[in-house]
């Protein structure tokens, strides 16, 4: 039986790591009797898998899959010299990894799993025992690229069923920022011109679109969509032949994060604004894309300021 490890990672802000971050920590374990190990290694591995079902027309359901590897870094902690044994005692090894800057965020859903793990492997060659591992799962947030750095405007026009061409509703709106961090708030302003003869209302909400992508020369895509709980709001009634100015603040949960830099999944968010008119006029809507996450340039200075020194820097500093 291999020793159980205690894997400690420094600088885990709010329980996660950031792409491009230098990861430092220690591995601790105890040996109770002289043991021969061919090697003791620590690895940082990130990979993703997706799996979903599609049913082509007049065909049976097909299960489609895809996978990719984002990072695999290995560090050797111990290699014996000759017949060297690992003697009984408490052992502690420092480690250091530099994460790539273009990896996606962690994901855990039914169709897709993107995860990052630190493994400590004790390798032994023998008839019954070969090797065993200790594992620590570490959430990672990837950097995101904004769809726009400026406020974004949008417009909705809804013409009602009428012989009067001016019987319509117009919504002109603006979102102050389209690239936001988890925990931020979206500020939405709208001018609603109701030139119709009916009362209407405006519904706004934050919605998500997750696209899962299979492998192959002609990959299939599965799109999962829905609204984010707690973000839906409907305006007061907007009377016929009136103009109303609306303001709305939409909260962004700390757990929301756009998924980019992956070939198996794309995770997107949009602000959906809907004009709701009574039957039989129906609805009209606009969906404004936003990106949730950290931009590389705004986060690099924070990482450099907050992270502890590397092991080599700490050693040099003590001399």
Per-residue pLDDT band for 302 (boundaries 50, 70, 90) equals low
CA–CA gap between residue 125 and residue 127 (Å, rounded): 7
Per-residue pLDDT band for 91 (boundaries 50, 70, 90) equals very high
The share of the chain scoring above pLDDT 70, in percent, equals 89
Q: Tell me how far CA of residue 143 lies from CA of 105, 280, 300, in angstroms.
A: 8, 45, 10
- Are 131 and 3 a contacting pair, CB within 8 Å? no
CA–CA gap between residue 212 and residue 111 (Å, rounded): 7
- Per residue in 32-74, pLDDT (tens digit) is 999 889 999 999 999 999 999 988 777 788 899 999 999 999 9
Residue 55 has a pLDDT of 83
Mean predicted lDDT score pLDDT of the chain: 87
Cβ contacts of 233 within 8 Å, gap of 6 or more: 203, 204, 205, 248, 250
pLDDT of 308 strictly over 50: no
- Per residue in 76-85, pLDDT (tens digit) is 999 999 889 9
Please tell me whether residue 124 adopts helix, strand or coil conformation.
coil
CA–CA gap between residue 196 and residue 194 (Å, rounded): 5
Radius of gyration of the chain (CA): 27
Average pLDDT score over residue span 225-237: 94
Is the pTM for the entire model greater than 0.75? yes
Respond yes or no on whether the N-terminal peptide bond of residue 280 is cis (omega within 30° of 0): yes
Residue 161 has a pLDDT of 76
- Per residue in 130-173, pLDDT (tens digit) is 556 788 999 999 999 887 778 899 999 998 877 676 789 999 99
Distance of CA 140 to the CA centre of its chain: 8
Beta strands 112-123; 107-108: pairing state? antiparallel
The share of the chain scoring above pLDDT 90, in percent, equals 66
Q: Which two tokens stand for residue 55?
A: 């049913």
Domains of the chain and CATH, by start: 6-143 (2.60.40.640), 152-293 (2.60.40.640)
Average pLDDT score over residue span 184-208: 95
Instruction: Looking at 123-244, list the stretches that DSSP marks H as alpha helix, in order from N- to C-terminal side.
Output: none
Please tell me whether residue 317 adopts helix, strand or coil conformation.
helix
Residue 129 has a pLDDT of 52
């Amino acid at each position: 039986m291999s020793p159980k490890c205690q894997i400690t990672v420094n600088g885990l802000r709010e329980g996660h790591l950031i792409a491009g971050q230098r990861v430092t920590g220690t591995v601790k374990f105890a040996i109770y009797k002289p043991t021969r190990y061919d090697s003791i290694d620590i690895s940082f591995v990130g990979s993703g898998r997706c799996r979903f079902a599609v049913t082509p027309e007049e065909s049976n359901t097909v299960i489609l899959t895809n996978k990719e590897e984002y990072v695999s870094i290995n560090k050797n902690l111990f290699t014996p010299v000759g017949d060297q044994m690992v003697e009984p005692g408490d052992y502690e090894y420092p480690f250091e990894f530099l994460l790539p800057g273009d990896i996606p965020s962690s994901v855990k859903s039914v169709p897709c799993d993107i995860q990052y793990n630190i493994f400590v492997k004790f390798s032994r060659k023998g008839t019954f025992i070969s090797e065993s591992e200790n594992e620590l799962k570490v959430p990672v947030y990837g950097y995101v690229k904004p769809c726009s750095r400026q406020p974004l405007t949008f417009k909705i026009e809804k013409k009602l069923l009428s012989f009067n061409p001016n019987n319509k509703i117009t919504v002109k709106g603006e979102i102050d920022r389209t690239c936001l961090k988890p925990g931020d708030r979206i500020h939405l302003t709208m001018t609603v011109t109701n030139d119709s003869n009916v009362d209407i209302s405006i519904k706004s909400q934050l919605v998500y679109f997750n696209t899962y992508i299979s492998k192959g020369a002609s990959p299939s895509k599965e799109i999962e969509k829905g609204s984010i709980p707690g973000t839906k709001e409907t305006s007061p009634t907007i009377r016929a032949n009136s103009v109303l100015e609306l303001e709305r603040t939409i909260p962004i949960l700390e757990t929301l994060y756009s998924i980019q830099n992956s070939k198996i999944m794309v995770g997107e968010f949009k602000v959906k604004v809907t004009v709701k008119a009574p039957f039989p006029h129906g609805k009209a809507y606009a969906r404004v894309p936003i990106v949730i996450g950290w931009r590389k340039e705004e986060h690099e200075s924070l990482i450099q300021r907050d992270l502890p020194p590397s092991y080599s820097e700490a050693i040099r500093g003590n001399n």
